[in-house]
Chains A and B, each alone.
Chain A
Amino acid sequence: QKEVEQDPGPLSVPEGAIVSLNCTYSNSAFQYFMWYRQYSRKGPELLMYTYSSGNKEDGRFTAQVDKSSKYISLFIRDSQPSDSATYLCAMKGGGNNRLAFGKGNQVVVIP
């Protein structure tokens, strides 16, 4: 079983829709959870960073962490064509600075 599971299936949504992405993990030592956005041929850009269970909101983005279920989510409200990108979940913990990544979700927002 991989440490981090993220269904890589491409996701197409109409503009204005809510995008819902999620990852599951198996390592209970993970304490820090991140979502990165990556445009084609660019490096990952940090979107959200959380280290406690619950919700964290930043503009149109909401990150949700459920440590008891080992499940994290990212919601994008009022999606825009500029949100079209690959979204990577990442996490770390147990005194280790190395990030464990999900495979990434390619999101396409159709105008």
Chain B
Amino acid sequence: GAVVSQHPSWVICKSGTSVKIECRSLDFQATTMFWYRQFPKQSLMLMATSNEGSKATYEQGVEKDKFLINHASLTLSTLTVTSAHPEDSSFYICSAMPPRWTNQPQHFGDGTRLSIL
């Protein structure tokens, strides 16, 4: 089945550091990828929709200069948390959308646990 790989799975860094998270679709080309944030015991909160070759679409309240998204190829999207602070600590999850003609749903990566000290 479709597989989405997310890296790293866990990162701890000092306040002020920028952190890059990668999301790769391994079995299919994904023109659309999504980035979510999840707090403990809560559901997923969509942060932005990433479209290959164009600017990402951010949800209301999500700072685009804080969370930089690049979707430079059909199999890779990256999320960079710039100048991260403790309040950015969270579980970040990406998903990839198979081509529309397959009529298949999103598949998710295994998430990245980000801890900012």
B residues with CB within 8 A of A:
4, 6, 32, 34, 41-44, 46, 49, 91, 93, 95, 97, 103-111, 113
Complex contact B43–A102 (CB within 8 A): yes
Could you say which of A36-44, A63-71, A74-82 contacts chain B? A36-44
Q: Once bound together, how far apart are the Cα atoms of A98 and B74, in whole Å?
A: 19
Set A34, A102, A103, A106: member contacting B105, Cβ < 8 A: A34
**Nearest chain-A residue to B91 (Cβ)?**
A41
Complex contact B104–A49 (CB within 8 A): yes
Tell me the minimal C-beta distance from A60 to chain B in angstroms: 18
Query: Are A46 and B49 CB-contacts (below 8 A) given A103-B42, A103-B43, A104-B43?
Result: no
| Residue tally, chain A, CB below 8 Å to B | 22
Q: Once bound together, how far apart are the Cα atoms of A98 and B43, in whole Å?
A: 14
Residues of A within 8 A of B109 (CB): 43
Q: Once bound together, how far apart are the Cα atoms of A43 and B9, in whole Å?
A: 10
A residues with CB within 8 A of B:
32, 34, 36, 41-46, 49, 51, 88, 90, 92, 97-99, 101-104, 106
**Nearest chain-B residue to A92 (Cβ)?**
B105
Among A88, A98, A106, the most chain B Cβ lie within 10 Å of the Cβ of A98
Q: Once bound together, how far apart are the Cα atoms of A93 and B81, in whole Å?
A: 30
Query: Are A42 and B110 CB-contacts (below 8 A) given A32-B105, A97-B32?
Result: yes
Q: Once bound together, how far apart are the Cα atoms of A16 and B49, in whole Å?
A: 40
Complex contact B43–A43 (CB within 8 A): no
Tell me the minimal C-beta distance from B105 to chain A in angstroms: 5
Q: Once bound together, how far apart are the Cα atoms of A4 and B108, in whole Å?
A: 20
Tell me the minimal C-beta distance from A12 to chain B in angstroms: 16
